Structure 1
């Protein structure tokens, strides 16, 4: 991992803190997950308690912590507890979309209490846009934080627009009665909420797409809407409902759009994998392979190879799983993605057959002879009888 200076600072300040909160700003959700796992490894002496607020509507952070955390964390009887707050930005986005500053106001007023009242260390994980938003609308919350750490991807990616700005613009456009593309706009809003794992809000806007399409002549958003609804059902574990939406999406999307048809077959294969229908999953992944190859999408093809390795692993076909992982690794090398290559090689190590244990040394008798060299004892003869029999044979 990068940002060694951040880790060195954390190594200094975390062991000396019992009651405080710090803010972690990450450029992407994948980087956030990676950093949190690394933090749990580096600071394993802490009892890590993740709190997922992706589906919650938080209006008071102190109230949410008091209601949801276990008693041993609140009482202070247990030492070295680290609470990880995840997806708090979803509530910030929701309050912003509703033109309500309630959460920012409460964060400002609760900042001092959060810094000292709870007997544990709190880590607030946010995206970089949310930190900029809090610095503007809840400066007290940022000022009372123990520190604010910013983490960026190793490779520079495309700069993304602030979701707060996008939501404001889209809300204004939806309020225009003359707008004829409200379905496409709701599709964008649903996709934004889905990216932030706010699946309930995403489903609301996907449903609105279907409602607006009844009034509009443009049906192009229909396939992407069903695709998004299927992804949400898949994320929530309703794999059968997800497949129904994926089939509807497949009917709406042009067959020549090989990347999207490949995605749909891959999602359906993942659903079949979770339903333990391994043969059906492999068949769907094979169709995804054909679609991605037709599209020339090597990155998607490599991900599909990894999925096929999982299915083979689930069925006990470790050699076949290794073959698919090797193909995925070769593509990652071709794409010059070292981080991805390391992840694949880590999976390959887990699939390696375990070496047989070394042979145990022979047991020895009290006289120091290996038991293999001692003539087998006839259970019908005592030790004295055995010696007599041996002497007679010698004579």
Structure 2
């Protein structure tokens, strides 16, 4: 089985849509009459003469709300003097002195340190086995997410990846745990045999590690984010570099950038799909690759059935994984996620990389073919990991040739 791997160096650069320049404000001039707030008119019936100067009222045991007939109830328009007005808003900006800036930033520093201390204490408690899991409401706190990203980055730089992964998993949306549970239930049992003679067994009890090597003949492109690997039932040679299935996204020594896309090829029955299932099972059981928050297996055989549909990437994932209904679009970008496309040789989609429109919005509806080409090219979710499996030869389909040309460009 041959595996080709594309690194993003942190992922290909995110394509940013250009925004048109904002038109000049069309608000009413603050000097015009239209800018003044007109006080409401009050009828004089049943009350005083309507004079705005009448302020005396008798004591009342009722709640001391302001009477609508008193001059306190009138909305007084702001007093705009002509010498204070200017057509240039920049002229009204305050120039801070060094002393004022020092005071402001001292207060900012105190608040920032207090915020970080509070959040770090929360994170420390979450890593304590006796501490209850946090509620999903806590995860939605924008301030917490910002501090969390910095904390995870520093922990991993301190070579404390296990702590970082555990913390990130505890603070992940609840749907992540639901997805892991679903995938664990789905892939822990392996069914073998033909119709009428199917045998079931626990995958962990019968799995044999597939022998995977990097591609032959210089298929590893050292300057790009592609690694090709081969899995086969043959004896090891001195030239081959065996790679464990769970390590396929770890860069080879000669590669300069992290791996983003892996293409694994192998003859029918060699164990490509079983290796995919084992990878997912180990992840769902918390064994390995816990820095990945979500794994979405999408077999080409099932994607073919959605060929004529129009939907967004978010809609596509929700149709396959209803557990992710509560996953917000920002989560797809802020968390490390992985897509597994099994059976490229079975793909019946055009995968027209040359002519398909570019797409960067994961909520924009289009064809499944456009979604896949933009996901593979890195326009959609450029930091996401991709694992694609296929049977050789890879040059029999135009869509496969197009895919290879994109991966090794």
Superposition TM-score tier, normalisation by shorter sequence: under 0.3
| TM-score (structure 1 length as normaliser) | 0.27
Relative CO higher for 1 or 2, CA cutoff 8 Å, sep ≥ 6? 2
Higher helix share: 1
| TM-score (structure 2 length as normaliser) | 0.26
